[in-house]
Structure 1
């Protein structure tokens, strides 16, 4: 079996993640290809798409949200993701058990004695009026039925697991603040989420789509990205469609036969990634992108800089200046490219009023 080293896996991942060269895609198509963008920090998806697309106007993504063609919702790993409306409708039911399990992992004690079916019905009753609700407001509205139970636990269980909800604009629009307010996905999109699919077609499609955007990958990587433990059956069902490799650690890696696997020596340009970007978080073994000693950065919400395809620093923007903190000494050539790309990012974030970047 062919062994793919970390550099080969790195270049394949960069290509799938639209980070090897700018993609000629519309924002909607990019969000679909990437299986969504991690979005608990509302402004981060804009940087994620700016780093991936040849020509990206942030107003286009805001328009997709207001037109209800993309949706903010809890899904993979029970984190807020920005996904296309068709993917939300197709995938939400497949994630239902995981969402509930993760909520109960936090609030099981507080919810002792609460009938979850009754709680879901009470939440739907509050939302039936069509008035968007914050998580706190929804929890307070149903709390009288369960005196002594934390309203926060009730509200988070409703929006995080029991009721498929969309997080509404203006939250998530470009340079626009706003509290997180929710309506049922069925109300917001005018369609019910799809029921459990025969033969777990939703699970099989998740495997295919993940490999298209992240492969080659192990089943543990698929689980780490999605949060779903129950995908071995889906992997088994599509295995004959796939090709196999091994990594340097001996793990079996699966992939789509015709997916891009570039030459490991192809140059990788500097890229600035937003907080919690799935290009890093979307794997159990992240060594193809980040050294193990820096792995904690990917879960701490640090924005990272890729140099030669690997995490080589963190970045922040304040007062119109993008500041880069390298994790190791940069060559003169890499430093120049980091500053050039950092200046372009500063211009994007400031509407062209600044192009300042500095290496700390």
Structure 2
């Protein structure tokens, strides 16, 4: 079986994640291809798409949100993601059990004795008037029935676990601040989410396997689990295995992939790319060594914006007084430093609506 080294996996990831060449692709198609973008920080998906798409216009993404073609919702790993409405309707039910268990993993003691079906019914009754509500408002409306649980536990379970919800605009619009207000997906999109298959098959799981590999492969089943948060996908992997090809990584793990997906030459040059906080190009794997060194792994979960140089996380970056500040994690060559500065000027212009292009290095 062919062994793919770290550099081969890196270039495959960059190609799948649209980070090797900026794609000439509609914004909606890019969100779908990527399987969504992690979005608990509302402005970060705009950075992620700017780094991936040619001539990205942030107004287009804002229009997709207000037009209800993309939504912000809890899904993979119980984190807020920006996904197409089509995918949310198709995928949400497959994530229900995981979402509830994730909340219980944090609030099991507080929710002990709370009948979750009764809690869901109470929450739906409050939301029946169609008014968007904050998590605190929703929990406050039902807490009299479960006073021992506390508002935080009740709210998290209702918003992230029991009732499929979306976060309504202006939350998530370009250059717009707005608190989190939630409405049921069924109200926002005009229909209920698709139910789970009842015949013992897992068509959604099979779709998730294919879509994950298209955006992240080649990858191990542990990587698939790390991206989705779903433990119960072995049957789905088994069902589609005949469609897939297999490789090994240098650790001996089996890696699965779609046969015709891009796997570029490992020597393919990789451009400078500025990534947003919590980018799935890093978080979408259990073994992140293909893109980030082990010593820097925690940056990806700490919310640092990172910079790819030669395809690997090589710096963090922030914006201070309209200047992009790059903090290298290793020494850059003169050529690398010049390339970082050039791309930094471009993202500074993007973030400032072409008002500023300042870049400096915090060596």
Bin of the TM-score, shorter chain as denominator length: over 0.9
Q: Which runs of 5+ in 2 are unaligned?
A: none
Q: Which residue of 2 aligns with 1:352?
A: 354
Supply the distance in 2 between the matched residues of 1:24 and 1:106 (Cα, whole angstroms).
42
Supply the distance in 1 between the matched residues of 2:176 and 2:193 (Cα, whole angstroms).
28
Supply the distance in 2 between the matched residues of 1:260 and 1:309 (Cα, whole angstroms).
16
Shift of 1:147: 2.3
2:308 aligns to what SS in structure 1?
Answer: strand
1:317 aligns to what SS in structure 2?
Answer: strand
Q: Which residue of 1 aligns with 2:107?
A: 107
Scaled by the length of structure 2, what TM-score is found? 0.99
After TM superposition, list the pairs within 5 Å mapping 1:81-100 onto structure 2. Answer: 81-100=81-100
2:182 aligns to what SS in structure 1?
Answer: strand
Q: Which residue of 2 aligns with 1:166?
A: 166
1:73 aligns to what SS in structure 2?
Answer: strand
Shift of 1:319: 1.1
Deviations 1:261-307 (A, max 9, x none): 00000000000000000000000000000001110101000000000
Shift of 1:21: 0.4
Q: Which residue of 1 aligns with 2:288?
A: 286
Supply the distance in 1 between the matched residues of 2:173 and 2:165 (Cα, whole angstroms).
18
Q: Which residue of 2 aligns with 1:153?
A: 153
Contact 2:78 2:160 in 1 (8 A): yes
Supply the distance in 1 between the matched residues of 2:284 and 2:39 (Cα, whole angstroms).
14
Q: Which residue of 2 aligns with 1:144?
A: 144
Shift of 1:184: 0.4
Supply the distance in 2 between the matched residues of 1:139 and 1:245 (Cα, whole angstroms).
48
Shift of 1:4: 0.2
Shift of 1:233: 0.5
Q: Which residue of 1 aligns with 2:189?
A: 189
Q: Which residue of 1 aligns with 2:316?
A: 314
Supply the distance in 2 between the matched residues of 1:234 and 1:118 (Cα, whole angstroms).
32
Shift of 1:152: 1.2
Deviations 1:88-140 (A, max 9, x none): 00000010110000000011100111110000000000001101010000000
Supply the distance in 2 between the matched residues of 1:151 and 1:304 (Cα, whole angstroms).
35
After TM superposition, list the pairs within 5 Å mapping 1:241-256 onto structure 2. Answer: 241-256=243-258
Contact 2:12 2:262 in 1 (8 A): yes
Q: Which residue of 2 aligns with 1:327?
A: 329
Figure out how many residues of one structure are paired with residues of the other and give that number.
Answer: 360
After TM superposition, list the pairs within 5 Å mapping 1:1-360 onto structure 2. Answer: 1-197=1-197, 198=199, 199-360=201-362
Supply the distance in 1 between the matched residues of 2:360 and 2:267 (Cα, whole angstroms).
28
Deviations 1:323-344 (A, max 9, x none): 0000000000000000000110
Give runs of ≥4 in structure 1 deviating > 2 Å: none
Contact 2:110 2:148 in 1 (8 A): no
Shift of 1:145: 1.1
Supply the distance in 1 between the matched residues of 2:149 and 2:247 (Cα, whole angstroms).
51
Supply the distance in 1 between the matched residues of 2:331 and 2:16 (Cα, whole angstroms).
28
2:109 aligns to what SS in structure 1?
Answer: coil
Measured on the aligned residues, the alpha-carbon RMSD in Å equals 0.6
Supply the distance in 2 between the matched residues of 1:294 and 1:325 (Cα, whole angstroms).
13
Supply the distance in 1 between the matched residues of 2:129 and 2:219 (Cα, whole angstroms).
45
Supply the distance in 1 between the matched residues of 2:28 and 2:215 (Cα, whole angstroms).
15
1:261 aligns to what SS in structure 2?
Answer: coil
Q: Which runs of 5+ in 1 are unaligned?
A: none
Contact 2:171 2:179 in 1 (8 A): yes
Supply the distance in 2 between the matched residues of 1:147 and 1:315 (Cα, whole angstroms).
44
2:202 aligns to what SS in structure 1?
Answer: helix
Supply the distance in 2 between the matched residues of 1:214 and 1:262 (Cα, whole angstroms).
13
